[in-house]
Amino acid sequence: MKKKRLVIRTVILLLLGAAVAYTLYANFSSDDIRKVAINEKAPDFVLTDMDGNKHQLSDYEGQGVFLNFWGTWCKPCEKEMPYMNNQYKQFKEQGVQVLAVNINESDFAVNKFTSRYNLDFPIVIDKGEVMEAYGIGPLPTTFLVDKDGIVIKRLESGMTEAMIKGYMEEIKP
């Protein structure tokens, strides 16, 4: 019994260590990554949501897109998700779409997270290609994409609900 507990604790510590190492690597190596420029066309991609539906960024042209890169383990992400959901409910009828790109976590972890917060907007999982194309470093990172598919702002921090509302106003068509 003690041996089994030791093995479980060791595995948990290794996983936590790997998450910390990845976070440090992502934060300190992000300067080497080419970042998407403001006033540049947002790189197109196709990702699948938790219900199996495909989402292609270019399909949202004509709408503003609040493109958020996040992880379930990211505390600022966790804090801003309910705010994003509240504002999505207000702005979706006004032509603003939220697309939340999870960074390569399991369906189980993402479903558990989205159920806990009762999120209504599409959640897609990226295996790394989109993250690389956008030059994502720290999480959360959000791109404001206008109705023409042009990136108008890049935000690399957590947001308050008032900030999210203001940003959605900026990309409203």
Element (H, E) at 79: helix 75-91
Q: Do residues 74 and 124 share a domain?
A: yes
Q: For residues 166 and 168, what is the distance between their CA atoms, to the nearest angstrom?
A: 5
Element (H, E) at 133: helix 129-134
pLDDT at 31: 47
* pTM of the complete model: 0.80
Range(s) of the domain holding residue 19: 1-32
Q: Do residues 61 and 108 share a domain?
A: yes
pLDDT at 28: 55
Q: Do residues 72 and 144 share a domain?
A: yes
The domain tally of the chain equals 2
pLDDT at 10: 85
Backbone angles phi, psi at 117, to 5 degrees: -105, 0
In the chain, which stretches have pLDDT less than 70? 19-21, 23-34
Q: Do residues 119 and 166 share a domain?
A: yes
Q: Do residues 28 and 58 share a domain?
A: no
Q: For residues 95 and 65, what is the distance between their CA atoms, to the nearest angstrom?
A: 9
pLDDT at 96: 98
Element (H, E) at 143: strand 141-145
- pLDDT tens figures, 34-80: 678 899 999 999 999 999 999 999 999 999 999 999 999 999 999 99
Q: Do residues 65 and 12 share a domain?
A: no
Element (H, E) at 72: none
